Amino acid sequence: MKLIIQGRKPLKGEVIIRGAKNSGFKLMIASLLGKTPTLLSNMTKAGETKISFSIIKNLGGKIEFKGEHTVKIDPLGIKKSQIPFGVGKESRASTLYIPALLYHFGQAKVPWPGGDKIGLRPLDRHLEGMKKMGLEIKIERDWLKVSVKSRPQATTYRFLKNTHTGTDTLLMLAAFAQGETVLKNAALEPEVDDLIALLNKMGAKIKRVEPKTIIIKGVKKFKGTEHVVMSDRNEAVTFACVALGTKGAISIFNVRPNDLTAFLEKLEEVGGKIELGVNEIKVEYQRELKATKVETQPHPGFMTDWQSLWLTLMTQARGKSTVIERIYPSRFQAAHYLKQMGARIRFFNPQVENPEKYYEFNPETDRKEYFHAAEILGPTKLKGAEVCAGDIRTGAALLLAALMAEGKTTICEAEKVFRGYEILDLKIQNLGGNILRVKGKKC
């Protein structure tokens, strides 16, 4: 699939944000713990959730749409303890199926996580916690096999570094473990709290007693429930950047401004006009943007998923901007294509006293050819080019660049963008953007 964009047109209007991709597919998986069906509303139909649909159906579960964005998950027919390799390998979170499969069968076999190529996913943070809960783990070439004799055993476990998916996985295991589990240095992301809210509705006993400490009292049974998926922070940030980058004005509905504090602070710092409502943000371009410095951090800091969009936006800011990536060892794929479009970007490694503490990635995943920071000189008049999406966030950044650029831009492998966004091209069209989705070969 390709996206063809004609840029240099201010985008104006309104857009409705759907449920968070990074929450919705996890809530579907958690629903498999129930003895009765669960109804999830405000679900996105982004590609990642479609992968989960496929996996759940393969396991024997039933999925039924009750309208455009409400889905019913019935786990009663689940009869397999192994995720299929093909579609399972595509998922970035295949380990999240382990708790539900252990709950039903006492064993689970899942492929190593796939998804976007944004750096190695540190599964050691998952596996260490699983071992402490009494799980037997066997690592094969492309598979992870896990078993437990009866129920997981409660434990106190401290994550060495922040891990969103690791926190989710151990939360679900602890929900039916024998005894009380304490998770320390647990992830603070709103999507984690969305999972906690769902599990508690299903009968779990989970409480965040301190910002990074969660206590879970294991229970034996779960029931189905109803839950509204939180709105997608990444989609909201995307349209906010589009508003400023195209010198337009966009009202963004169905958002939670408190989840976006770190981003909105930077938006005001560079000169964007922001009006906040209860569930609405209006972002408007007023004057030339100012250069700024950003460091990606775990929540409540500036999210790594916003980094490539921000880097792209800063090509239009006056002065020298700096972006430091602290979460992944190599996540500047968008910058290489932006340079082809005329951006002035220099990669470097910042001077850091204690890299092991400063960076969230494991030191062994780093390489000498990786850079962890970028310097952007602006403003730059970008020119259209043929580029490749590569992954969700790179694709979104290149779409933003294309909307800001002079002339035509073609984004190849655009299907990867739609793993994280539902009908993104149609929403851009409704705002006045010139964008066309066509069939095409890979880059």
Tell me, yes or no, whether 201 and 330 share the same domain.
no
Q: What is the pLDDT of residues 377-395, one digit of tens each?
A: 999 999 999 999 999 999 9
pLDDT over 60 (residue 125): yes
Instruction: Give mean pLDDT, residues 153-173.
Output: 95
Last residue of a domain, one of 220, 239, 271: 220
Q: What is the DSSP letter of 153?
A: B
Query: What local confidence, expressed as pLDDT, does residue 145 receive?
Result: 95
Distance (Å, whole) CA 291 – CA 111: 43
Tell me, yes or no, whether 428 and 362 share the same domain.
yes
Q: What is the pLDDT of residues 243-265, one digit of tens each?
A: 999 999 999 999 999 999 999 99
> Across all residues in the chain, what is the average pLDDT?
94
Residue 226 lies in a domain: no
pLDDT confidence band for 119 (50 / 70 / 90): very low
Q: Which of 95-99, 139-143, 177-181 has the lowest mean pLDDT?
A: 139-143
Indicate the length of the chain as a whole number.
Answer: 443
Q: Tell me, what CATH number does 181's domain have?
A: 3.65.10.10
Tell me, yes or no, whether 285 and 200 share the same domain.
no
Going across the sheet that includes 434-438, the strands are 386-388, 408-412, 2-6, 434-438
Phi, psi for 113 (deg, rounded to 5) = -60, 145
Tell me, yes or no, whether 209 and 341 share the same domain.
no
Q: What is the pLDDT of residues 28-58, one digit of tens each?
A: 999 999 999 999 999 998 877 888 999 999 9
Torsion on CA atoms 198, 202, 203, 205, rounded to nearest 10? -20
pLDDT over 50 (residue 132): yes
Tell me, yes or no, whether 154 and 247 share the same domain.
no
Would you say 402 and 2 are in contact if contact means Cβ atoms under 8 Å apart? no
pLDDT confidence band for 117 (50 / 70 / 90): very low
State which residues form the domain around 295: 2-18+231-438
Is the full-model pTM beyond 0.85?
yes
Distance (Å, whole) CA 236 – CA 281: 9
Residue 149 lies in a domain: yes
pLDDT over 60 (residue 168): yes
Residue 225 lies in a domain: no
Q: Which of 45-49, 271-275, 364-368 has the lowest mean pLDDT?
A: 45-49
Domain count, the chain: 2
The DSSP line for 205-242 is: EEEEEETTEEEEE--S-----EEEPPB-HHHHHHHHHH
Last residue of a domain, one of 165, 192, 220: 220
Tell me, yes or no, whether 199 and 256 share the same domain.
no
Residue 443 lies in a domain: no
Tell me, yes or no, whether 11 and 31 share the same domain.
no
Tell me, yes or no, whether 290 and 406 share the same domain.
yes
